[in-house]
Structure 1
Amino acid sequence: MDESDRKIILVTRKTRLQELVLRYNTVEQARFQAEHLGMDFGDFLVEDEVYAVAVRQVEAVLQAQGRLQRLDRTFLPNFLFPPTALVVVLGQDGLVANTLKYLQDGQKVLAINPDPDRWDGVLLPFGVSDLPTVLGDFWAGREKSREVVMAMASLTDGQTLLAVNDFFVGMRGHASARYEITHGDRHERQSSSGIIVSTGLGSTGWLRSVLTGAKATSGAKMQSTAETLLAMGLPWEAKRLVYAVREPFPGRWSKTSVVLGEIEAGEHLRIRSLMPEGGVIFSDGVEADGLDFRSGLEASIGFATTRGLLLT
């Protein structure tokens, strides 16, 4: 492909310092607020400078390789990615996950760790210095990639949402969620602090904290499943999803037998909202992009036909 035909999208994020300045207008006001809360403002400055240097270095390399467009993470939900574009994400892991679900099926992502001393980067296999070599392999068709299986939630009103790591189904804030849950031939009403549905990629994240409580209220088979997941997680490409109920409340109205399970290919977890207001389904920790989940709506959660591909 000729350089003039190459389209490259660079996805970046605001640093903690930039977010504070947006909120409080000036660096000095941001400093006052951070230090008032006992935070090390010097660390904010270091993080911001390291990221700014990484952005400049990455942009310089990419501009020499094709037509470059920079995109802030806040525009991801409304941006239409050209299907032939190479998408470059300048970490953290959460930014990679949030980008993957807005791409075309099978569109490849090159993820870069801007600050290896700060971020471990499970989804960030490359450093800034690796970029010229990786791009050379990509344009020559020698690249390697790893598939990332995603989940999809479909509501009866037509709304849909993808998840790279996990879904949360419950109430906004800290109120108890009330709903009916169905998996296969198992069905019951529940009151809990919400449900986590995790992909293989997300199985070593939020799900781990929920599994500890879920296995205590489940049968022997599910206890064994929870222990295995806690020890090993699931591969990114696993054709299984795992759901776990957070703090299920046992009572006359609500039951606690369907609290942990695996969703295989072709299966769906169905959840019917009994929440007049405040119900929500969001993915990958981003509540702002969530779906309203009010009484009468039913969500069907299973595998997405869309798949992510991460260059490795």
Structure 2
Amino acid sequence: MAAPRAVIVHRTSELTELLARHGTRGQVSFFLEQRGQSLAAVEERHDRTRAALADVTAGLPVDWRRASVERGELARSVFEPDDVILVVGQDGLVANAAKYLGAQPVIGIDPLPGVNAGILVPHAPAEGGALAEAARTGAAPLCERTMVRVRTDDGQSLTALNEVMIGQPGHQSARYTLDVDGRSERQSSSGVIVGTGTGATGWCSSIARVQSPRLALPAPTDRGLAWFVREPWPSPSTGADLLAGLLHGDAVQLRVESDQLVAFGDGMEDDRLTLSWGQRVRIEVADRTLRTVRSVR
């Protein structure tokens, strides 16, 4: 029987990205100073994140297998059904990983307390090893977070944790017919966003404040979704009456009326579905959930 495997998901630090672009610390320092920023602050975040990754790795049981996956490698990575996933980074990194996972438990670890919101990464690095063992044995308390799925009429699909967006890849006006809650409207807008209760703590919350402040957004475990139309344009051929609402057991459906639209989830536009004229799209609650380990503090 194979030993348990811990997969540590992380993201390349700002310092590493800046060094790759500018070559030396001196050049990075000059670049940042020209923009009123400090190399010392970037180095501090880099060092704290590296220390957190080292703490998580050191805390894992010695007989476990280990793997490390950088954010850009997620789409090419193969996760085993019995893996325990430890995401070390920002809250958004948990969402980035979610679409590539199945029923594996996910432990969100915050390397920069006070910088990140900590909603999806509530745990300290020192807790990683004990939480991984508890997750493997089924002793860890889990939150079954609802996910959202896009399906097209030609069999393509995409799943996301926070939200999906359908719009123009160049952020021009998207044209489509929207069908929701038994109503239909031809629209021209900046795009349609459908989000979960987890997404209600992020981008969907910002949209709701402006567009529909009285809308009661779902909780992370609710089997419901919130939908929003961004900046619909009323014209002789398009309307702007369908703006926002909640879905419980129903779906948002679109018929594409642009040369090309895209659908992507959780801000990962590079991993997207391409939609063509006349194609039909359905956005609904996904069959699976993301199983995150709860904080007991």
- Same structural fold, with TM-score higher than 0.5 when normalized by the shorter chain: yes
Q: Distance in 2 between matches of 1:101 and 1:167?
A: 11
Per the TM alignment, residue 70 of structure 1 is displaced from its structure 2 partner at its CA by 0.8
- Please give the per-residue CA displacement for 1:155-178, whole angstroms capped at 9, x wherever unaligned: 123221111001111112331111
Structure 1 residue identity aligned to 2:240: T
Counterpart amino acid of 1:98?
A: N
Q: In structure 2, what residue type is equivalent to 1:17?
A: L
Counterpart of 1:142 (choices 139, 143, 166) is 139
Report deviation, 1:126. 1.0
In structure 2, the residue matched to 1:117 is: 114
1:205 to 166, 190, 202: 202
Alignment of 1:111-260 (within 5 A): 111-215=108-212, 226-229=213-216, 233-260=217-244
Secondary structure at 1:288 match in 2? coil
More deviation, 287-296/199-208: 287-296
The aligned counterpart of 1:100 is 98
Deviations 1:37-80 (A, max 9, x none): 22232211110010111111211222625000111111111212
Query: Mind listing any 5+ residue stretches in structure 2 that lack a counterpart?
Result: none
The secondary structure found in structure 2 opposite 1:154 is strand
Q: How far apart, in 2, do the equivalents of 1:203 and 1:235 lie?
A: 8
Q: 1:23 to 1:159 in 2, by over 3 A?
A: farther
1:132-160 deviation per Cα after TM superposition (whole angstroms, max 9, x unaligned)? 43234334432111111001001123221
Q: Check conservation: 1:171, 1:194, Cα contact below 8 A.
A: yes
Q: Aligned-pair distance for 1:30?
A: 2.5
Contact 1:181/1:190 (<8 A) preserved: yes
Q: What corresponds to 2:30 in structure 1? A: 32
Match of 2:247 among 259, 263, 267: 263
Give the 3 Å change call, closer, same or farther, for CA 256–185 of structure 1 in structure 2. Answer: same
Cα 1:37–1:68 shift into 2, 3 Å:
same
**1:296 maps to amino acid:** G
Deviation, structure 1 residue 89: 0.9
Structure-2 residue corresponding to 1:218: none
How many matched pairs?
294
Superposed CA deviations along residues 92-128 of structure 1, whole A, max 9, x for unmatched, are: 1011111122112x22111111111322310112101
Report if aligned partners of 2:251, 2:283 keep a CA contact under 8 Å in 1.
yes
- Secondary structure of the residue aligned to 2:226 is strand
Query: Shift of residue 84 of structure 1?
Result: 0.8
Matches within 5 A, 1:284-299: 284-299=266-281
Taking a change above 3 Å as real, the CA distance of residues 60 and 151 of structure 1, as seen in their structure-2 partners, is: same
2:80 pairs with 79, 82, 96, which one? 82
Moved more, 122-131 or 55-64: 55-64
1:13 matches 2:4: no
Indicate the SS of the match to 2:290. Answer: strand
- AA of the residue aligned to 2:214: E
Tell me which amino acid in the other structure corresponds to 1:200: G
Counterpart of 1:271, as a letter, is L
Q: Identity over aligned residues, as a percent?
A: 31
Partners of 2:281 and 2:21 lie apart in 1 by 36
Partner of 1:273: 256
Q: 1:311 aligns with which of 285, 293, 297?
A: 293
User: Following the alignment from structure 1 to structure 2, what is the Cα–Cα distance between the partners of residues 115 and 284?
Assistant: 21
> Aligned residue for 2:42?
44
